[in-house]
Structure 1
Amino acid sequence: MPFLDKIIVDFDRALRVMGGIASASRPNPASRIVEAVLDADQQRHSAGLMRINHVGEVCAQALYDAQARFAHDPSVKQQFIDAGREEEDHLAWTAERLRELGSHISLLNPLWYVGAYALGTVAARLGDTRSLGFVVETERQVEAHLTSHLTELPEQDAKSRAIVDKMREDEVLHGAAAKALGGTVLPFPARKAMQAMSKVMTSIAYYI
């Protein structure tokens, strides 16, 4: 593909991700679950948590796109591409759930996307093993974050819970695959910095 055409395609894809426009290749795990009756506070809380999860998927798309673009080993590049495709399912599922809850995606998605793409580029430039190590740590933190959401979501919100549970299952597999390809353990300061950045993002995305 000519360079200019590639830029246009990538820009279009980024706009779609930031706008919450995605197509899932797998069925939504909540598609056959009957919608529960939630009161206003429960609905607002579920929406806030699912908005956080949607932002996480916006960031995942940016990270995997950047890491795939600058990966050196073809097998590593393919892993990033494959994981990104599965994460696109998550993007579609969480966007659909937000609509069902009568809420919206984050208004700051352009900021989240650009920041994550820059971070993914830096990780990739450090080499494949460190880039994979970044994925391992990211997925470890995301797994913990999704586990906490399963305890925070209203018990009767089975649709949101089914989506989050399937997302968590996929994240574990992505982290394991990155580790198997040679991902190294990140230094402690880097892991703590990632946690701090995640805390800022989740605190803001819950509301905006």
Structure 2
Amino acid sequence: MAAKGRMPGDPDPEEMKRRMIRVDHAGEYGALRIYEGQLAVLGRRRVGEVIQKMADGERRHLAVFEKMIVERRVRPTLLSPLWHVAGFALGAGTALMGEKAAMACTVAVEEVIDEHYARQAEALGA
């Protein structure tokens, strides 16, 4: 019989945590690549300082998840090469459209991340 709130076939709590770590690691990597793409285009402008601070934050977050992946023996996503290219392209593309577009992308990324983590916390009962 499945545990309370779980259906047959649902991942057990430990597998759910591993999946969350994998997804979060990929998300932090993708976000960093977006900011790196933006910096490649706008890095020498005044807005580059703001983007650099965002990128530095993502680097710190990514380091936490990289440590968790090793410590908890979680397989990283197989899609990292895709996020490497797609994240940079999204960042550079929005930056090429101008500072407003780049900042709109940044706001959207951060909002999605916040919502994602809130849903995870709820799923974990936090």
Report TM bin, short chain.
0.7 to 0.9
| Equivalent AA in structure 1 for residue 68 of structure 2 | R
| Residue number in structure 2 paired with 1:76 | 47
Q: Secondary structure at the match of 1:120?
A: helix
Label 1:143 to 1:50 Cα distance change in 2 as closer, same or farther (>3 A): same
| Equivalent AA in structure 2 for residue 59 of structure 1 | G
Which of the numbers 58, 70, 73 marks the counterpart of 2:29? 58
User: Take 2:87 and 2:47, find their aligned partners in 1: how far apart are those partners?
Assistant: 19
Whether 2:94 is the aligned partner of 1:137: answer no
Structure 2: state its 5+ residue gaps: 1-10
Whether 2:102 is the aligned partner of 1:115: answer no
Seq. identity, %: 25
Which structure 1 residue ranges, 4+ long, deviate > 6 Å from structure 2?
Answer: none
Report how far residue 85 of structure 1 moved.
Answer: 1.0
| Residue number in structure 1 paired with 2:99 | 128
Which of the numbers 43, 58, 64 marks the counterpart of 1:87? 58
| Equivalent AA in structure 1 for residue 13 of structure 2 | Q
Query: Once superposed, what is the RMSD of the aligned Cα atoms?
Result: 1.8
| Equivalent AA in structure 1 for residue 63 of structure 2 | A
Q: Is contact 2:31-2:109 (8 Å) kept? A: no
Q: Greater relative contact order: 1 or 2 (C-alpha under 8 angstroms, separation 6 or more)? A: 2
Which of the numbers 10, 31, 43 marks the counterpart of 2:14? 43
| Equivalent AA in structure 2 for residue 105 of structure 1 | P
User: Take 2:61 and 2:70, find their aligned partners in 1: how far apart are those partners?
Assistant: 14
Label 1:73 to 1:132 Cα distance change in 2 as closer, same or farther (>3 A): farther
TM-score relative to the length of structure 2: 0.84
| Equivalent AA in structure 2 for residue 56 of structure 1 | G
Render the CA deviation track for 1:121-179: whole Å, top value 9, x for unaligned.
110000001110111112111111110011123x4xxxxx7xxxxxxxxxxxxxxxxxx
Label 1:150 to 1:80 Cα distance change in 2 as closer, same or farther (>3 A): same
User: Take 1:134 and 1:106, find their aligned partners in 2: how far apart are those partners?
Assistant: 23
User: Take 1:72 and 1:83, find their aligned partners in 2: how far apart are those partners?
Assistant: 12
Structure 1: state its 5+ residue gaps: 1-39, 156-160, 162-208
User: Take 1:48 and 1:54, find their aligned partners in 2: how far apart are those partners?
Assistant: 10
